């Protein structure tokens, strides 16, 4: 069983930390919010109402006109070694996403890029394009009916492929089952996020019996659930 350890940032890790996470821990990654559009409607989504539309941000700065100069300039100013591409679901706007990845890889060949997706629109063709233009790491947040998209990505690309899910309090059994599936198919990692309250998801979380911690951000029991699941599931998969 991999050594379980706590990082200075408070993250709990079993095994090897994904490269994208390592750069984030060091504050060396820029964040590009591709779009707020998403094919799913997760009750726990913390995205603000303002962000739930087709809008683009680079390091929290709204971008009204995307071009190579704007993109490269922001990465240079932030002195980033990597980029996280998020949303919404970036693959809803695949042309925009592909443009950004290609520009970054052409100008910064060594930059590390990871991308979050629900996997809903992930196909062999989409994967082939992402792989060709140089995406390094794919983090999929699938519903059970889309678990096979992770296997598809592992089979059809050379990227590091794993999953990222929230720790819903009391969901240890579901997390462990998912972790076992990921181990069986050879996924590279599983990231488990502490569930957070926001203005947009608070009512839905409260209606389901979740309660807020004293920090008024995180959900009671979420971190403990993640740690218990991690300790039981950490065998061959890297978890954090």
- How far apart, in whole angstroms, are the C-alpha atoms of residue 68 and residue 104? 9
User: In this structure, how many other beta carbons lie within 10 angstroms of the beta carbon of residue 57?
Assistant: 16
How much is the pLDDT for 24?
79
**pLDDT exceeds cutoff 90 at 32:** yes
**pLDDT exceeds cutoff 90 at 23:** no
Q: Of all helices (H) and strands (E), which one includes residue 115? A: strand 112-117
Instruction: Express each pLDDT in 160-195 by its tens digit.
Output: 999 999 999 999 999 999 999 999 999 999 999 999
Domains, the chain, ordered by start = 4-239 (3.20.20.70)
What's the predicted TM-score (pTM) here? 0.91
How much is the pLDDT for 7?
76
How much is the pLDDT for 85?
98
Instruction: Express each pLDDT in 46-85 by its tens digit.
Output: 999 999 999 999 999 999 999 999 999 999 999 999 999 9
Instruction: Express each pLDDT in 185-234 by its tens digit.
Output: 999 999 999 999 999 999 999 999 999 999 889 999 999 999 888 888 76
How much is the pLDDT for 2?
60
Q: What is the average pLDDT value for the chain, to the nearest integer?
A: 91
Judge whether 204 and 44 are in contact, CB under 8 Å. Answer: yes
**Confidence grade of residue 25 (pLDDT, cut at 50, 70, 90):** confident
How much is the pLDDT for 3?
63
**pLDDT exceeds cutoff 60 at 236:** no
Helices (H), 134-237: 148-156, 172-185, 202-207, 222-233
Judge whether 155 and 4 are in contact, CB under 8 Å. Answer: no
Residue 170 makes CB contacts below 8 A (sequence gap 6+) with 221, 225
């Amino acid at each position: 069983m991999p050594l379980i350890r706590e990082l200075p940032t408070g993250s709990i890790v079993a095994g090897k930390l994904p490269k994208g996470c390592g750069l984030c821990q060091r504050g060396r990654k820029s964040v590009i919010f591709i779009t707020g559009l998403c094919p799913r409607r997760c009750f726990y989504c913390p995205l603000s109402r303002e962000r739930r539309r087709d809008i683009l941000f680079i390091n929290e700065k709204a971008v009204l006109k995307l071009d190579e100069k704007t993109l490269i300039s922001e990465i240079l100013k932030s002195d980033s070694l990597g980029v996280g591409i998020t949303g919404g679901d970036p693959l809803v706007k695949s042309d925009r996403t592909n443009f950004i990845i290609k520009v970054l890889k052409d100008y910064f060949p060594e930059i590390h890029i990871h991308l979050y997706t629900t996997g809903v629109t992930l196909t062999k063709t989409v994967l082939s394009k992402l792989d060709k233009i140089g995406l390094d790491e794919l983090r999929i947040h699938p519903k059970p009916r889309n678990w096979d998209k992770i296997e598809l990505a592992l089979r059809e690309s050379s990227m590091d492929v794993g999953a990222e899910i929230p720790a819903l309090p009391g969901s240890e059994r579901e997390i462990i089952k998912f972790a076992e599936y990921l181990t069986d198919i050879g996924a590279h990692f599983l990231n488990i996020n502490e569930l957070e309250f926001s203005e947009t998801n608070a009512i839905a979380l409260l209606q389901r019996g979740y309660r807020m911690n004293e920090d008024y951000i995180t959900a009671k029991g979420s971190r403990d659930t993640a740690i218990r699941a991690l300790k039981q599931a950490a065998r061959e998969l890297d978890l954090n």
